[in-house]
Amino acid sequence: MLEINNLRISIAGRTLVKIDHLTASPGERLGLVGESGSGKTLTVLSILGLLPSMMDVEGSIIFAGQELLGKPEDELATIRGRDIAMVFQDPSRSLNPTMKVGRQIGETLHLHTKLSKSEIAQKTLELMHSVQLQDPEKLVSRYPHELSGGQQQRVMIAAAIACQPKLLIADEPTTALDVTVQQGVLKLLLKLSRESDMAMIFVSHNLGVVQAVSERIAVMHDGEIVELGLTTQILDSPGAAYTKELIGANPSIPDAQELRRLLGTRFPTGKGV
């Protein structure tokens, strides 16, 4: 469904990202992990055509048979939100502070569907229910600052899944949340991915969180993928020195098995792969 080949992202002649090959299959949950500055966010922004204009991009990004690199902005705008959606790290900065949250969820439907105003209003409430927001009839008319961080992130997720995208990109979606709220958001993302067969790219610096939700992991360092494979294989037998360092530097790794149990996550073991 998604295939990246020979991707190069650079600025003023300096290469920031160099990815030879990376794929994501329908319904797959792929983790993209690495320290800050490793190129994770630049990689996913390139998929959406959202890189700063001063950056140069080369290579190929094919999604559902379409080449995304070089596609006109009006065509990319149609794909964004409808076929590929993104949940950003900090909902308090991503949500419009002057717009009620119900309207912000409905904007995606307004842009990408032919639903009437009343149908959008009804669908908005259904989406808020689906992301387990309590009492959506009241929340729909509130502004972002009137919601908790966890509620804001669920609003972002509701807006992202409004058009049932084939691919959801979640960029550090739980970093700003406390542990209890974090588990709730992770469980929600897993549930939505499973129920709709929606592929997900989960981006994080936290290997413990990534391994709890991902079937495969791509480890990034200095703009390159240094290791790629099944989650269980990489964590049981890491091959790259940087992966070993990353595992050793993540105190949450020993708790990831418990997190997987809480989330009900099951992974392939690599047998027959």
- pLDDT per residue, tens digit, the chain (273 aa), is 999 999 999 999 999 999 999 999 999 999 999 999 999 999 999 999 999 999 999 999 999 999 999 999 999 999 999 999 999 888 888 999 999 999 999 999 999 999 999 999 999 999 999 999 999 999 999 999 999 999 999 999 999 999 999 999 999 988 878 878 888 888 889 989 988 889 999 999 988 889 889 999 999 999 999 999 999 899 889 999 999 999 888 755 545 555 556 556 555 555 433
Given a contact cutoff of 8 angstroms between Cβ atoms, the answer to whether 217 and 229 are in contact is: yes
For residue 102, the model assigns a pLDDT of 98
CA–CA separation, 199 and 84 (whole Å) = 10
Domain residue ranges in the chain: 1-80+167-273, 84-164
H/E stretch holding 195 reads helix 179-196
Given a contact cutoff of 8 angstroms between Cβ atoms, the answer to whether 106 and 121 are in contact is: yes
For residue 134, the model assigns a pLDDT of 93
Quick one: which of 208, 210, 188 has its CA closest to 198?
188
For residue 271, the model assigns a pLDDT of 41
For residue 136, the model assigns a pLDDT of 96
For residue 176, the model assigns a pLDDT of 74
CA–CA separation, 245 and 265 (whole Å) = 25
CA–CA separation, 124 and 121 (whole Å) = 5
Position 134: which residue type? Q
Sheet of 14-24: strand order equals: 14-24, 2-11, 56-63, 66-67
CA–CA separation, 71 and 80 (whole Å) = 12
CATH 3.40.50.300 fits 1-80+167-273, yes or no: yes
For residue 268, the model assigns a pLDDT of 54
Sign of CA dihedral 153, 154, 159, 164: positive
For residue 273, the model assigns a pLDDT of 36
The token duo for 247 is 């595992």
Burial class (CB in 10 A: 0-12, 13-18, 19+), 237: exposed
CA–CA separation, 207 and 220 (whole Å) = 11
Q: What is the pTM of this model?
A: 0.89
